[in-house]
Copies of this chain bind each other. A is one copy, B any other.
Amino acid sequence: MQDIDIITYLKNKKELVDVALGKYFADKNSFFDTMYYSVDSGKRIRPILAIASYESNGGRDIDAIMPVACGLELIHTYSLIHDDLPAMDNDDFRRGKASAHKQYNEAIAILSGDGLFAYAFELFSMGDTSDEKLAVINAVSEVVGPKGVVYGQVLDISENERPQPKMLRRIHLNKTAKFIAVSIQAGAIMARATSEKIAGLYQAGICLGMLFQYTDDILDVVGKKGELGKTPGKDKASGKIAAPGIYGIEGARFRAARYAALAKGKFLRFGSDFNILVVLTDFVLNRTY
């Protein structure tokens, strides 16, 4: 496991994803260029997780997983654009540059999100027909909509006068963890893993996703704008429920480490082929951006 140079791994996979995304946005109408403004940066965590899971499950055809991986990134980007809108989190800074509604205007930002969402499903369904593609679409659409990401955002923007651990968990689970989990699940589906593995990896992904949101909350307190590419200190300023506000920084760090341990345990159950997901989990635990 120590053999994996995670920084190089992430860099190489991100390059592959970036090249594919560039291709999917080339030679289209002018609005694709507008949408690409918001797509053209980002850590590519979800597509990398999908690819890592695909390859860990024995998948070998990078061209088969890439539209799925990139579709996940488009959905993530759409959710960021809409979350940043003045009516929502009102954040002018994202991925190291002006948010879509500051770069263009609110209408174009809303439509950019809508367009990316639709285009993701076009990518998921492109090419030859296969049962796996339909399974991915079903899993992803369930998790990014009103049973997942959208519901999490609804809870997140609702008045929560007395933040409680239970509500924090509900928001983190719906807004972040399910989407991280389904990214890993999608890779397993595309690699035609057994249904037991697909379900087990989803559960591991939930733990990784909870960890991801905990470190996000922690970085919102201790992170630097230059590294984060977004505005820190937002949770407290907006009165949002976040882990440090409930458990303190040290308490949040403790719980993040526990989610990391849980995730790693679940990945390791499937054997050494899944080492990369263990290493990725440690990377998320220790990330500074």
Query: Is the CB–CB distance between A135 and B146 below 8 Å?
Result: no
> Does A31 make an interface contact (CB < 8 A)?
yes
> A125, B118: Cβ atoms under 8 Å?
no
- As a 0/1 sequence over residues 114 to 127 of chain A, the CB contacts with chain B under 8 angstroms (1 = contact) are 11111111101110
- Copies held by the complex: 2
What are the residues of chain B within 8 A of A31 when measuring CB–CB?
A: 146, 150-151, 154
Q: Determine the chain B residues whose CB is within 8 A of the CB of A110 once the complex forms.
A: 82, 85, 87-88, 110
Say yes or no: B141 contacts A134, CB within 8 Å: no
Q: What is the interface size of chain A, counting residues whose CB is below 8 A from a CB of the partner? A: 50
Q: Which residues of B contact A79 (CB under 8 A)?
A: 114
Q: Which of the 9-residue segments A101-109, A261-269, A275-283 touches chain B?
A: A101-109
Q: Does A147 sit at the interface, judged by CB under 8 A?
A: yes
Q: Is the CB of A146 within 8 A of B28?
A: yes
Q: Would you give 17 A-B contacts (Cβ < 8 Å), ordered by A?
A: A31-B150, A31-B154, A82-B111, A85-B107, A87-B107, A107-B157, A114-B145, A114-B150, A115-B145, A115-B146, A117-B117, A117-B145, A121-B121, A122-B142, A124-B137, A124-B141, A125-B141
Other A-B contacts than A82-B111, A115-B146, A119-B146, 6 sampled, CB-CB below 8 A, are: A31-B146, A32-B146, A87-B107, A117-B118, A118-B141, A118-B146
